[in-house]
Amino acid sequence: MSRTDALQGLEVAWVGLGRMGGAMAARLLASGAELAVWNRTPERADALVAAGARRLRSLGDAGTCDVVFSMVLDDAALDSLHDPERGLFSGEGEAPDTDAGAVGGRGRVWIDGSTVSPAASERAAAAAAEAGWAFVAAPISGNPSVVEAGQAIFAISGDDAGLEVAEAIGLAIGRAVHRVGSRAEASVIKLCVNALLSVTMQSLAEVAVLADRAGVSRASLMEFLNDSAIGSPFTRYKTAPVVTLDFPPAFTPEGQRKDVRLALELARELEVPLPVLATTEVAYSSLVSGGLGEGKDFAALILEVARDAGHELRPEELR
């Protein structure tokens, strides 16, 4: 079945229109999908409504659609979506005048793209199952610019009945979807990837400060690094902020710290020592509490490393 066929006749309710959620919903709407939108701050839905999406009056109304895709900040926000009294399954919404809204005759589907703990995903899955819905964890890898370019990727795991439509939505938004399991495996994978991302940024910041202190330009370091075996899309993404010291926020230090803490929490539960990641958590916490990362991308960690070294960095020009 093609992506278009999988979404044919289905209305997708999009819940959560922050920077990532808004970019993702815009991609889905542009693909031709039938989209309804809801956000706790209603004005964030205005641009999508102007582009053709239907505005939902309440979270309960989202729960009357064929498919719900949520993109929220953290575990607490995800838990609130299945609150028995005011959540998706509270029965407070006004159902559309259609048949049972079944996805291929298999029931409705809740897909969550948030970066949350596996435990939060499993709680959402349990609430969905109790309401007769399928649940799929579908965390995304990519920042808003990557989403807008159609280059984001998804890991998905969950109920078989929801995987096909989750894959179709993922491919309407991004370039690849990886099926990784039947429970919360996708959430585990996302935390592992973000943990590695955090550690990589700390290491990059440290060697950049070391080179600078030794009198080597950061531009020279990054030019060579990106041409070497250790160069990667990530180091190339972060070359501009490391060199110019301009940090437009693709992802905030607060968000990165949140994900690191979720990974460490999972590691403690499973009794897996992660000493390097634990050190990284301290660095991001210092960046947040010290104010150097306010309003900036998490690459501003280089400022924290330089402060610890008692070293002043100066902006350079990109090569």
Point out the residues of the chain with pLDDT beneath 50: 95-106
pLDDT confidence of residue 98: 44
**pLDDT for res 8:** 86
Query: Model pTM?
Result: 0.93
pLDDT at 92: 66
In the prediction, which pLDDT does 32 show?
96
Domains of the chain: 3-183 (3.40.50.720), 189-308 (1.10.1040.10)
Please state the separation of Cα 216 from the chain's center in Å.
35
